[in-house]
Structure 1
Amino acid sequence: MEDSTMPPRNPALSCGVCKSFLEAVTRMEIFDNEGELMEGVTPPSFESLQFPLGTQTQILNESECKEHQPLLAACVRNGAKETFSRLDLSIYRGRLSLDMEYLEDDTPWVNQPAQFLLLENSDRQGISMGRSLDRDYIDPRLVQQWIVDCAEHHGTKCSAKLLKMHSSLKYLIDCVDMCLVPAPEAASYVALSYVWGQVPTLKAKRDNLETLQERGIFNHLEGEIAATIRDSMRLVPMLGERYLWVDSLCIVQDDEDSLRRHITQMASIYEYASLAIIAADGKDASAGLPGLRNVSKPRTLPPILKLTENLSITARMEDQLRRGPVTTRGWTMQEQIFSRRKLVFFKNSVRWICRSNTYYEDIDTPHDLDSKLVRIDGGEALHSLSPFDLSLDVPDLSVFCNLTYLYTQRKLTFDEDVMSAFASTFSSMSAAFPHGFVYGLPAAFFDAALLWRSRGNRLVQRVSSNAGVLCPPSWTWAGWQGYLEMHAFTSACYMKNGPFQWSTSHWEPYQAIPMLTWYTRNSKDGPQLPLPFQNKWYDYKRRYMGKEVDLPDGWVFRTEDAEEETKRIAEILETRGRYRRWVDDPECEVSYQQLQTTYYYEHPSCPNIKFWHPVPLGIDSKPTDTSQRPPSYWRYLCAQTQRAKLWGFKPRYNTTLDRALSYQHPNMFVVPMFGISLGVTAVFRNEEGDEVGELSVDSKEDLEQIYEAEQNGVLCDIVAVSRGLHYPDPQPVERETWSFYNVLWVVWEDGIAYRRGVGRVKRSVWEGLQKENISLVLG
């Protein structure tokens, strides 16, 4: 008897590849509004299934079927691999995806270049149900429905403005009268986020400002306006709006005061916009917004494969949005973080992303479906940070760490713009970090922030394109482009239960304990001034940790439930000991259990967060003297410290020493050090050949130099910058201890030290080394 749950068979469906598609489709699971299985569907919700398709030759060359070839060929092109070993279908959590196996550097890899969507004659909705689309043009009624759904169902989460607009907008584009107009007070407007690139386009300047305010002028000058801007002008009225803000026309480009004023409040400009148009596909401003009827060129959508009379499938290409041009550019990051509602043009389709939900043009889902279920772009940057995190009064270093991690991966046309492109984000965090930033390092947490490190040794030092404008110095993350790690850069050192705490299999957060007084200079030989507010958090720790009274305003001392605290510590020790072979650090004078405190502190501005000790909050701080030059412009960092020499080596790979290669990175070795199985890429050795510390090298070239010198190593000049303790749990000053020294590997040029890496040296080793007292100047 024929299975009644199977779709009607197509007699012409004789191709093995097409049969595999049909079999997979019958097993797919469709979720309802609550993320549960639709009624009558029996497989378990997290079942993972695979359906083989075949090799490249079988699928695209030998097969005589012309039905599946166009669809799979488009998917393969999206995978950006000319050759592959085989293709399979896989089902996981209700989604049907294409698995592409291929070889790269003789290593087998698998990626998923496409997810498939069902197109059927029914009214079912779900995460795998495709929407029948016009093949050439976007339906503006769908976008208008998203706007209505957000306004009616999402409340203050999407409507609230968290930042202040310190100065009103000067100009907006009137998309009805097609000219530039003085911005009406409290006018609703749309903002455009795009990659400008090197494309010539019409700009507002002092000498044409009056002309650009003539009614209909943009109709006459449309040939001079880049396609993305021109298409956006036509799109805005379709969205029920009148005004558009675009940087090239709404900022007078040859007015330095106008440029500076807008750059420092760019985050506010995008947050105050009713929505932002994100041109995510465009490599520059000439790309346009394909698929707008009577406005732009038609779009191209993936082919459709018909399986039965009532059932077809199509593909949605799985290039993640975080890899699109607009999401890899430095200037656009703050625009995407702070925009409350985003209309994103990507892969010839459109999607809606707001603070509450995500809607896709090609996926037919209810407006109230949990966005975590429907979202398909993983950890892409448009979702991963919220201005709700950045605007807290409490300084959460873990959030700031994530923010800088995302930003340093992005590219700038001119590296010297790195601080300007981030300036508005710094301004938005002034409540959380009221004492400001020194070239991107929060002054109140300076010693912890100074310990940023390269992730996978893939950093490249920024180089200015303008001899008259310098890039940030080597000692700050802002002076480098690539991937960062900030393991001491975490709120775990002052939050007992912070919302964004983390660890990895071969790393744990650790403390930076200040030991130096830092000064800054404007020039190499200029006078030096103390760094304002340096390590203010540590000052609070010294003054208040362990005290029950005489605390800063609002702070309250609490004690833990003794039984619950004992249970919590036991669980930590058991879990970490089991999974990370975590033991007490032999360099530490006390055990982890002895480091625990039975008390914590609370503040009404951040309920539900327990603090190890009070920390400086924005609501407690008085405005700083704005007449002084901001510390961010003081280039040289100075301190009295000690210098020593150790050798940088590739770690020994030796199973008898209980170490192995890490799955996290091909150059990472798992080495027992500081009480855990630590993931490192290089180690310090002393004259006797003993491994006495770990080294994170900033650049790939310097790491290769160490690896090539495997027999003799590379002699490293290192300078101490702080003390450290592997456990993040702090102690009152009278009981404070440390087990290592945080050091920078530096090279010298004309008396100035330039950073090449960061590391840690065992306390007993550093204190026994031959050292030299020096006046350190970091450039």
Structure 2
Amino acid sequence: MRDFYSGSSLTIAASDAVDGYTGCFPASFDDNGGLDPPGIFFTTSNIRDGGGSIVRFQSADIRRLTEDVVLNTRGWVLQEMVLSNRIVHCMKSGLYWQCRCAFQTETGLKLDRSAVNENSLAILPHDAQIRTETSKIWWNWMENYTRRHFTYPIDRLPALTGITRHYQVATKDVPILGLWESTFSQDLLWRRDTMIPPDEFEPIPNPIRNAPSWTWLSFPHQISFKYLDRDSDGEIQHHIELLDWAVNWDSEPLTSGINSTRLILNGPVRQCVLSDIRKRTVFDTPFFDLGGEEDQAPKSAGDFDGEVRSIPTKYLYQTS
């Protein structure tokens, strides 16, 4: 897949198609001549020469339009968007050109690709050795990836193979189940990005067998990454060291099941007693009780993925 899409001259995307049978220009697009509702068009005239113009209002930023389409809700499509050098989006509102430098509409409106909204897919630079920047790009991709859907959940790992290889070749880094060897301590800082109402938690079985808890691949929901704060010199201070790791696959890496994993870290840790502070309503912010009486103990926003655990349990956490 990586070679196929990164080597293509042009990728044609049926961006508004709801399924594989709809095509680039389905019949349902003909309601308004294949364009947005007529209300956003108007004509002007020039009384001097009798000429005129047709003015069209774009209903939204085209860079956002091409990302909020049906096609971009699918998990496999992320690699197509990331790896393709040029894409033509076939949409109800028109044709849109996308490459690594610009977006452009069929009417000639051109926008710089670099100025995008926070939900846009980042572009891996030619100089991919700057780890702080490439890490953010990987996090951006994975946050986007976990918002997408799969017809077959078991595809969640294989659909990541092309992007992983692309990033690996560019950065010369080593992949570790959705994390990377050189930035492992930062990549560990992922968290659940969805709210689960109390008493309504329904566990979703993880299709990735034996996925260890330290990788976001063990969590079949939307996630986000926390950006580390820098010190006065602009450097990130790390307090853990990756000593050893191993991932043993049933067959080919990333395309087969996980047989076993090993991870050894070195760093200062502290023991704490952790339990839930029960929530009263759906809208209450969930908190952890950090080792004391509920009204007196330090509190930290957070929640377990499973049922409420009112019985305090001892955990180790990393400290500086």
TM-score in same-fold range (> 0.5) = yes
For residues 209 and 291 of structure 2, what CA distance do their matches in structure 1 show?
Answer: 37
The residue type equivalent to 2:239 in the other structure is: I
2:80 corresponds in structure 1 to 335
**Partners in 1 of 2:3 and 2:20 — Cα distance?**
23
Alignment of 1:297-376 (within 5 A): 298=30, 300-305=34-39, 310=45, 316-318=58-60, 320-361=65-106, 363-365=107-109, 369-371=110-112
Q: CA deviation at 1:433?
A: 5.2
Secondary structure of the equivalent of 2:189? coil
Tell me the distance in 2 between the aligned counterparts of 1:715 and 1:433: 45
1:694 deviates by 2.2
Query: How far apart, CA to CA, are the structure 1 residues paired with 2:6 and 2:211?
Result: 28
Of 92, 97, 122, the residue aligned with 1:385 is: 122
Match of 1:283 in 2: 18
Structure 2 residues not aligned, in runs of 5+ = 46-52
| Deviation per residue, 1:396-443 (Å, 9 max, x gap) | 322222221111111122222222111111112224654522211213
Q: Which residue of 2 aligns with 1:647?
A: 275
Letter paired with 2:315: V
1:403 and 2:144 correspond: no
Task: Describe the SS at the equivalent of 2:311.
Answer: strand
The separation in 2 between residues aligned to 1:273 and 1:451, in whole angstroms, is 35
Q: How far did 1:646 drift?
A: 2.2
Q: Distance in 2 between matches of 1:336 and 1:456?
A: 25
Cα deviation per residue 1:80-134 (whole Å; 9 max; x = unaligned)?
A: xxxxxxxxxxxxxxxxxxxxxxxxxxxxxxxxxxxxxxxxxxxxxxxxxxxxxxx
Q: How much does 1:473 deviate?
A: 3.9
Which of residues 412, 424, 428 is equivalent to 2:166?
A: 428
Q: In 2, distance between residues paired with 1:495 and 1:472?
A: 37
Q: CA distance change for structure 1 residues 321 and 497 in 2, over 3 Å: closer, same or farther?
A: farther
Partners of 1:512 and 1:461 lie apart in 2 by 34
Change (3 A) 1:337 1:698: farther
| Greater radius of gyration (CA) | 1
Tell me if the contact between 1:450 and 1:475 (Cα under 8 Å) persists in the aligned partners. Answer: yes
Q: Does 1:720 align with 2:288?
A: no
Cα distance in 1 for partners of 2:75, 2:97 equals 22
Q: CA deviation at 1:628?
A: 11
Alignment of 1:694 onto 2:300: yes
8 Å CA contact 2:290, 2:297 repeated in 1:
yes
Select 2:240's aligned residue among 502, 511, 514.
514
Distance 1:520 1:309 in 2: 67
Q: Quick one: which amino acid aligns to residue 268 of structure 1?
A: D
Task: State the AA in 2 paired with 1:340.
Answer: N
Q: Aligned in 2, Cα 1:433/1:494: closer, same or farther, shift over 3 Å?
A: farther
- Take 1:650 and 1:453, find their aligned partners in 2: how far apart are those partners? 20
Aligned match of 1:485 in 177, 202, 224?
Answer: 224
Question: More helix by proportion, 1 or 2?
Answer: 1
**Partner-residue secondary structure (3-state), 2:67:** helix
CA RMSD of aligned residues (A): 4.4
Using the alignment, how far apart are the partners of 1:482 and 1:651 within structure 2?
Answer: 21
Task: Give the unaligned 5+ runs of structure 1.
Answer: 1-265, 499-509, 524-626, 653-665, 669-680, 707-712, 724-737, 739-779
Give the partner amino acid of 1:286.
Y
When normalised by structure 2's length, the TM-score is 0.71
Identity of aligned residues (%): 18
SS at match of 2:143: helix
Inter-CA distance 438–719: structure 2 relative to 1 (3 Å threshold)? farther
Partner of 2:205: 463
Change in Cα spacing, 1:646 to 1:297, as seen in structure 2 (3 Å) is: closer
Q: CA shift at 1:314, angstroms?
A: 5.3
In structure 1, what is the Cα distance between the partners aligned to 2:317 and 2:172?
24
Deviation digits for residues 596-628 of structure 1, max 9, x if unmatched?
A: xxxxxxxxxxxxxxxxxxxxxxxxxxxxxxx99
CA distance in 2, matches of 1:419, 1:629: 10
Map of 2:48 onto structure 1: none
> Could you say if the C-alpha distance between residues 521 and 405 of structure 1 is closer, same or farther in structure 2, counting changes exceeding 3 Å?
closer
Q: Distance in 2 between matches of 1:330 and 1:476?
A: 18
Q: Deviations over 1:480-523 (max 9, x none)?
A: 344322225x5x6599659xxxxxxxxxxx85522786655759
Q: Deviations over 1:296-351 (max 9, x none)?
A: 98553234357676376656554833232221111111111121111011225211
Kindly provide the CA deviation profile for residues 675-704 of structure 1, in whole angstroms up to 9, marking residues without a partner as x. Answer: xxxxxx5233323333335253364xx4xx
Q: TM-score, normalised by structure 1?
A: 0.32
Secondary structure of 1:715 counterpart: coil
1:289 shift after superposition: 1.3
Determine if contact 2:211/2:217 at 8 Å carries over to the other structure.
yes
1:564-605, Cα deviation, whole Å (9 max, x unpaired): xxxxxxxxxxxxxxxxxxxxxxxxxxxxxxxxxxxxxxxxxx
Match of 1:447 among 165, 185, 201: 185
Q: Give, in whole Å, the separation in 1 of the partners of 2:44 and 2:188.
A: 64
CA drift of 1:357 comes to: 1.5
Which structure is higher in RCO with an 8 Å CA cutoff and minimum separation 6? 2
Find the residue that maps to 2:168 and give its secondary structure: coil
1:286 shift after superposition: 0.4
User: What is the distance in 2 between the residues matched to 1:371 and 1:521?
Assistant: 41
Matches within 5 A, 1:540-559: none
Partners in 2 of 1:637 and 1:643 — Cα distance? 22
Helix, strand or coil for the counterpart of 1:416?
Answer: helix
Closer, same or farther: CA 649–269 of 1 in aligned 2, 3 Å: same
Structure 1 residues 442 and 515 mapped into 2: Cα distance closer, same or farther (>3 Å)?
closer
Count of aligned pairs: 293
In 2, Cα distance between the equivalents of 1:355 and 1:388? 10
| Inter-partner Cα distance in structure 2 for 1:283 and 1:291 | 10
Task: Answer yes or no: is the 8 Å Cα contact 1:461–1:481 preserved in 2.
Answer: no
Cα distance in 2 between the residues matched to 1:691 and 1:512: 28
